[in-house]
Amino acid sequence: MVDKLTKQKEDMQKFQETEMLKHLDLKYKNEIIRSMEWLAKKDDTIFLGQAVKYSGNAMYNTTKTVPEDKLVELPVFEDVQMGMSMGMAFEGFVPITCYPRFDFLILATNQLVNHLDKINIISEGQFQPRVIIRTSIGSRIPLDAGEQHTQDHTQAYRNLLKRVDIVVLDESDDIFPAFKHAYERQPLSKYDSLVTLLIEWGDHYNAK
């Protein structure tokens, strides 16, 4: 019985790894880096978060080539970071606000759901802050980061957010156009949010 369960577990793991490998794309991280470099050339952009300037997670590798004066390393205060990003956008900045893992982004849910997602409605379109939010679903291969570092809350956020555009970056070819669109898109109405949540796959990073 034990042998049978062990075999089933091994087969499942092999299947998962095979499926994962099918989706791995060697261009993935480079496309994110290209996107960050393109955004960094814009006068109004600024990059905020933990490990945007100092190493500590995979996302750091995508901001290494961003000029230092564009990077603001923040303490761990996720909800403040989201509100701060919103405030900077009020004054004309386009923050690229980075949350290395989805598990951490949920700590910013108050500012994201109650404020940033609703500001266009509450203010009747007077305020239309443009904020680009980056997060990543933590990798499981080759090291499984565990339950508190690998959660995918995409569907929960699709339910919670009425206006924020949510984009899951599955394919490498989608990455640059998605970031470009997040920066350039114009509102269709005064109630249209200019906030984009881009969700990356940590496991795709690991292929590089």
Residues that bind another protein (CB under 8 A): 46, 72, 75, 77, 79-93, 110-111, 114-115, 122-124, 126-127
Which two three-digit tokens encode residue 118?
Answer: 């609703």
Q: What is the longest distance spanned by two Cα atoms in the chain? A: 65
- Closest to another protein by CB, 85 vs 151, is 85
Which two three-digit tokens encode residue 66?
Answer: 């961003």
Where does 49-171 have alpha helices with state H?
A: 78-90, 102-105, 109, 119-122, 154-160
Enumerate the β-bridge partners of residue 72: 48
- Positions of E strands within 24-158: 45-49, 71-73, 94-99, 130-137
- Closest to another protein by CB, 79 vs 192, is 79
- Closest to another protein by CB, 51 vs 72, is 72
Min separation Cβ 149 and another protein, Å = 23
- Closest to another protein by CB, 125 vs 140, is 125
Min separation Cβ 69 and another protein, Å = 9
CA angle 79, 83, 86 (to 5 degrees): 145
Min separation Cβ 200 and another protein, Å = 24
Min separation Cβ 29 and another protein, Å = 29
